[in-house]
A and B are shown apart, each in its own frame.
Chain A
Amino acid sequence: MAAATQPFFRRHKSLARDIEGYLYISPWLFGFFTLTLGPFVTSFLMSFTKWEVLSPPVFTGLANYQRIFLHDPLPMKALYNTAYYVVLGVPSGLVLALALAILLNQNVKGLPFFRTVFYLPSVTSGVASAILWLGLFDARFGIINILLRQVGIEGPRWLGSTAWSKPALVIMRLWYVGNSVVIFLAGLQGVPQHLYEAAEVDGGGFLAKTWHITVPMMTPTIFFNLVMGIIGSFQVFTSSYVMTGGGPANSTLFYVLYLYRNAFVYFQMGYASALAWLFFLVILVFTGIQLLASRYWVYYEEPVGRI
């Protein structure tokens, strides 16, 4: 009798514990099902329909995908522009952030001041700072071209030129690397000092120490920032919406801007959903490739992941 009640009691108790646990995470679970998983599946289904909001959806099979790949030149153009921005912007941003963090890690005086200056732009991201950069890049009155004129160079038309519009937005992106600088700085402070001392004994200079100790020890952090940076940069929207409207000649038409237009300007929800799913798959492939590649270059000291 006692032996029979015991497991029941225990099961009962663990059931109560389960209920309590799920109760605590229920706000997130509810949000996850209604605002993430549900919409995730729904948008997949919507991508096979023609749905213009006011009329009911009509199943059209693969028509939306055919349109993306065969009839509409803009999705590929937008994908190219976005890939350009990501491939140029993310690695250069990481190199810059790591360089700044290494500089800040040289026992400099006034570290909090420098860190503040480098981090400050990151908190201003949004329309206001996009307008600020619109002013900086202005062909005639922007400070960049005024300064170039001072040294006798007539600067390009930046956002008004198809050749310079994307590089301009990449340059602007470099202004927001403060987050990565702070992360790298924290990581650098965790690199064991004895490794550097050992290298000094062996006569290693600054560059040797950086290349053979700092960079390898930082690879997990670099990898993590690379993955999140790529995912984040693929979603670039505000700068092109506010500063260029995708122009000139669609040279800054980024993918999310095109997706936004199809959904909320043209109200083609079915087609926009197909675009959204293609976007998801592209990011998934990019992230997958990085995960595979990481085996060859990311060094984990202990067998534990970062999270």
Chain B
Amino acid sequence: MPANRFNGFTEYGIGIGLRAPHYDHILSRKPVVDWFEIISENFMIDGGRPLQILDQILEQYKVVQHGVSMYFGSAEKPNREHLRRLKELVKRTKTPWVSDHLCWGSVDGRYTHDLLPMPYTLEAAKLTAQKVREVRDFLEVPVAVENVSSYAEFHVSEMSEWEFLNEVVERADCGILLDVNNIYVSSQNHNFDPMTYVNSVPAERVAQIHIAGHSKYRKYILDTHDHPVIDPVWKLYERAVQCAGHTATLLEWDDSIPSFKEVHDEARKANKFLASTVLATAV
């Protein structure tokens, strides 16, 4: 099940985000890492050091692209220049799939550079699915949409977040990048059972899983990617891989980034849960 049409029938293991503070370590020590995830927008440029680093990484490692500004949920059409540059990068990295967020963030060509929550309506699901299809058809690689952390809910919503996610992915016939930390963060901010969410996701569509840490404030939790993964999130991860199988997993650590070893060690904790899925399959 994990190698599916939504991740290009690949069997990727545990990856970490490729971040600038680790460049020297990776290029000089060449640590064994299953794969790296890059933020596409950081490399959708004409030249210079970022692309030189990327090319060196590509010589040694598998790379998967993750975007932050396609805004599948924004009402406007995908930006043509954005798509053109993204496709150029897809050809360079040979990423088996690309992912971006199930959110909106731009209006009339103005970008907020944030992942804003969607109103969970049928109308929004239809428009979002249409945009996912357009992007996938243009890029000619599978697309996976990621559930975001959110801090607000809308009166107009007609369904739960997981029902909305399912509606979008079924209509778009696309994959899911299941972020179990985001599920946890939103569950705490909106008072729902995160396990219900994980259990409701169509496991056969899960292309990849994200794990991460967050910051707890007095009245809400913020998705900051600056801490280790907490136990309740590992529990959600365990359940997700029980359902979806041995899925490509990535640890996100984007702020107060510790040493490469610390990040990689944290990511490799996922092995314990992935191993149990292999065992279960064997039995």
A binds B: no
Chain B interface (Cβ < 8 Å from any Cβ of A): none
Chain A interface (Cβ < 8 Å from any Cβ of B): none
